[in-house]
Structure 1
Amino acid sequence: MHDIRMIRDTPDAFDAALSLRGLAPVSGALLALDADRRAAIKQAENAKAAANGLSKAAGIAKSKGDEAEFERFREEVYQEKAQMVELNQVAADADKRLNELLIALPNLPYADVPPGKDEHDNVEQKRTGTPRAFDFKPVEHFDIPAVQPGMDFAAGAKLSGSRFVVLRGAVARVHRALSQFMLDTHVDEHGLTETNTPVIVREEMLYGTGQLPKFGEDSYQTTNGWWLIPTAEVTLTNLVNGETVDAGTLPRRHVAHTLCFRSEAGSAGRDTSGMLRQHQFEKVEMVSITHPDESDAEHTRMTQCAEAILEKLELPYRTMLLCAGDMGAGARRTYDLEVWLPGQDTYREISSISTCGDYQARRMNARFKPADGGKPEFVHTLNGSGLAVGRTLIAVLENGQQADGSVVLPAVLHPYLGGKNTISATGDLI
């Protein structure tokens, strides 16, 4: 959410920043509503002051026994109070409409975010690792003989419909091992606090992080009004919803492994084969709550935490700075990590790490008390996948596939698999 005072001070800069996201100028409409609201508030205050003055005059008339004068003043008091009520309603209506417009607007990109409309305009920052040279034609994960016994899309469709899968045996165990490895690394090496949160939340929590009101179709709602989380960003970030914390407790760094649910309403026909885009999936999510002065450094740090997981798994990847048109609505800057998938012969997103500035904090009313005792300020929030477990599984399987149909697994996972290191061509962990 945006600060209307900032828009008053720099309307042209505000419109210019939103134009990078393809939006038409909106400051005029916002400031007109703001002016109406402020004018109504001022007029209501004047009416209240007038009513107070007339009440005193009525009291004096009453004390003098002048009933006619008293009745005249009393009628004027009534009229001023009626006008005050009417003006307060005008102000409330304008304020509600203003907030509805503000809460629907995306965040403003930072100055270093490249312009552009979509993924084709993103800017590569670096490449890490070299894609393996295969002496056979690699296949996608679902066509690897070792994987087929343990990845059952027919069973998932029978149980729940399209874009669900049942994992079993060795594949299920590797999937579990990946999430445990990610959590252990983030906790033991990166200093994040492991946090276990609900996956069903109240509606205001999705407003807090920006999934509502505009992107409700991408999530699932229960019949009693709760929502299934699309990512643990929602729960971890909202831990400070409505709170004013001490500056000394910042940064707060959380990591959670949760189920996530997305309707994928806007992705019809995309990535329908395999596990790449599912309605239900697992993710290890990182969230940081920081002092504004530390959020840029924290963005770099969080990106490095996600990159470290890929490096430990020996997976080639590239780091992309997203253009303004490809960023999520709540982000001011986003780095995407794209892992190499030899079966598709391309890089695919496996993590997005975003800094949101105070955009979410304003929606949540989340503040901190400065160490010097000054006025409370809004915190900054950041979030990022560390990593998407299903997509990491795909990358591990495709990059580790062998000519005989088996899959050799990364060394860092062996302790989580009882020392076993390979899925045989028949689907056994050996």
Structure 2
Amino acid sequence: MLQVQFIRENKQTVLDGLAKRNFANAEAILDQVLEADETRRATQVSLDETLAESNKLSKEIGGLFKSGEVQKANILKEKTGQLKDKSKALTEKLNTFSEKLKELLYQIPNVPHSSVPKGISEEDNEVVFSEGVIPNLGDKALPHWELVKKYDIIDFDLGAKISGAGFPVYKGKGARLQRALINYFLDKNTAAGYKEVQVPHLVNEASGFGTGQLPDKEGQMYHVTGDNLYLIPTAEVPVTNMFRGELLKANELPIALTGYTPCFRREAGSYGAHVRGLNRLHQFDKVEIVRVEHPDNSYEALNGMVEHIKVILRELKLPYRILRLCGGDTGFTSALTFDFELYSTAQERWLEISSASNFETFQANRLKLRFKNSEGKNQLAHTLNGSSLALPRVLAGIIENYQTEEGIRIPEVLVPYCGFDIIN
């Protein structure tokens, strides 16, 4: 959530940033924000003055009663009654405009970083890096949804029977490969200095608002209505919310955490061949990395996250590229996002497998996540997160790109985790 003071002092900068996102009616909403805040602040001043006057009169009344001046005291009591009614009305007005201001701010996405290109869709994203060799599999190469059926390692029909489409069942070596990837990712992250945490898979409403999934992505989350809890769409939500409402010491930064969780997404409206098999699921596994940083260091930290993910993909020997997302494709809460895509030779297309994002103070403002700076003042921290990595499409890429006539070879780095080197 943007800070009102930042909007007030940098309105044109905010407008220019929102234009990169093609955000409709930006100026009208910003004007409503500033108007609501002006009313809220003026009301707060009136309320403070009224309460101060009421307190002053109360002290005078006490003195008059003690001195026996009952008539004067009663006159002042009548006036304090009027002030009480006035303060009540001002409090109600203050609450109304504070809520209105919050609702307006919830509608405004983050301001993109200056390096973010203007654009409408993924077609306008910039390729900033690519690496790896795309294998030549020949005409007999199969997509992963056929390979997993051939080797009986993932069963989509069985998952549909149990739950519905988008809930696969991993079997035998498929399940072991899945578990191997999770352990490998966690080991790589902890070796890089990320502390492992295990977190709940359901979160409350405050957590959803804290990281920006609510109200923006409410329709994409599974809602447990009886308890008003939400199944997490990513570990980013519970891990980042560990610090909701916290005031950290400067020497506690940076904080680097990693966690494995299943993720749940309704993915409403997702149909077609491009979401077939593992390409898009309602339940999938992901290992996440989350950072809380001093604002001066957050972009250096983002570059470090990108380099860390590159190392993992190099060790898996998967061809990949990195995109800087344009304004129209950047997530609601992000200031700058780099997407990682691996090339599926069998599908002849790029598959998104990771994102690394800097949210700057956008999440921290919602979370009230602050730290004491060198001047002893409270300052909002910067939050970052990245997938390291999301499993379904990595698994799809391994299955497809490592297929041979003898079976599916296992990347060398995963063999110690799997206990086998081929699926046949």
Counterpart of 2:383?
381
CA distance in 1 between counterparts of 2:310 and 2:278 reads 22
SS of the aligned residue for 1:161 comes to coil
User: Structure 1: which amino acid aligns with 2:138?
Assistant: D
Residue of 296, 299, 317 corresponding to 1:296: 299
Quote the offset at 1:81 in angstroms: 2.1
User: 1:428 is matched with which residue?
Assistant: none
| CA distance 1:397–1:69, shift in 2 (3 Å) | same
Aligned to 1:195: 197
Map 1:57-68 to 2 at 5 A.
none
Counterpart amino acid of 2:79? E
User: Could you tell me how far 1:54 is from its partner in structure 2?
Assistant: 4.6
Matches within 5 A, 1:6-155: 6-23=6-23, 24=25, 25=27, 26-52=29-55, 54-55=57-58, 69-144=72-147, 147-155=150-158
User: What code does the residue aligned with 2:409 have?
Assistant: V
Corresponding position of 2:167: 164
Give CA-to-partner distance per residue, 1:32-72, whole Å, 9 cap, x none: 11111111112223323443455566567667766655443
Letter in 1 for 2:417: Y
Cα offsets for 1:198-254 (capped at 9, x unmatched)? 211222111111101221111112121111111110111112111112221211111
Paired residue secondary structure (1:326) = coil
Q: Tell me the TM-score normalized by structure 1.
A: 0.92
Find 1:332's aligned residue among 328, 331, 335. Answer: 335
In structure 1, how many angstroms separate the alpha carbons of the residues matched to 2:271 and 2:189? 34
Residues paired across the two proteins, number? 420
CA distance in 2 between partners of 1:353 and 1:266 (Å): 25
Aligned counterpart for 1:366 among listed residues 366, 369, 373 = 369
Q: Write the distance in 2 (CA, Å) between the matches of 1:204 and 1:147.
A: 45
Report deviation, 1:270.
6.6
Output the CA distance in 1 between the equivalents of 2:204 and 2:273.
30
**Alignment check: 8 A CA contact 1:147 1:171 kept:** no
The amino acid of 1:388's aligned partner reads: A
Shift of residue 359 of structure 1?
Answer: 1.0
Structure 2 equivalent of residue 427 of structure 1: none
Q: How many Å separate the matches in 2 of 1:415 and 1:147? A: 24
- The farther-off stretch of 122-131 and 179-188 is 179-188
CA distance in 2, matches of 1:145, 1:98: 52
Deviation (angstroms), 1:115: 0.7
1:248/1:385 CA distance change after superposition, 3 Å: same
1:407 paired to 2:377: no
1:119-156: per-residue Cα shift (whole Å, max 9, x none)?
A: 00100001101211223342210112775411211100
1:220 alignment partner in structure 2 = 222
3-state SS in 2 of match to 1:22: coil
What do the CA deviations read for 1:160-215 (whole angstroms, capped 9, x no partner)? 01111111112221111111111112222x22112211211222111111101221
Identity %: 36
1:273 and 2:276 aligned? yes
Give the whole-Å Cα distance in 1 for the aligned partners of 2:66 and 2:409.
Answer: 98
The residue that corresponds to 1:173 in the other structure is 176
User: What amino acid is the match of 1:406?
Assistant: G
Equivalent residue letter for 1:101: L
Partner of 2:258: 255
Q: Deviations over 1:286-332 (max 9, x none)?
A: 11111111100100011111111111010000000000110111110
Unaligned runs of 5+ in 2: none
Q: Are the counterparts in 1 of residues 2 and 105 from structure 2 also a CA contact under 8 Å?
A: yes
Secondary structure of the residue that 2:397 maps to in structure 1?
helix
**Aligned-CA RMSD value:** 2.0
Between 61-70 and 153-162, the greater mean CA deviation after superposition: 61-70
| AA matched with 2:391 | V
Alpha-carbon distance change, 59 to 135 in structure 1, aligned in 2, over 3 angstroms:
closer
CA distance in 2, matches of 1:63, 1:414: 88
Question: Retained in 2: the 8 A contact 1:275–1:391?
Answer: yes
Cα–Cα, structure 1 residues 145 and 358, in superposed 2: closer, same or farther, change >3 Å?
A: closer
Q: Distance in 1 between matches of 2:139 and 2:167?
A: 30
Choose which of 348, 358, 381 in structure 2 pairs with 1:345: 348
The residue matched to 1:368 in structure 2 has which SS? Answer: strand
Q: Is the 8 A contact 2:336 2:358 kept in 1?
A: yes
For the 8 Å contact 2:151–2:423, the answer to whether it is kept is: no
* 3-state SS, counterpart of residue 277 of structure 2: coil
Partner of 1:422: 422
Q: Partners of 2:382 and 2:122 in 1: how far apart?
A: 26
Would the alpha carbon gap of residues 272 and 146 (structure 1) be closer, same or farther in structure 2, given more than 3 Å must change? closer
TM-score where L is the length of structure 2: 0.94
What letter corresponds to residue 398 of structure 1 in structure 2?
A: E
Shift in CA distance, 56/157, structure 1 to aligned 2, threshold 3 Å: closer
Q: Find 1:238's aligned residue among 241, 248, 253.
A: 241
Q: Are the aligned partners of 1:145 and 1:405 in contact in 2 as well (CA < 8 Å)?
A: no
Alignment CA distance shift 1:167-1:59 (3 Å) = closer
Structure-2 residue corresponding to 1:322 = 325
Match of 1:284 among 270, 284, 287: 287
SS of 2:152's partner is helix
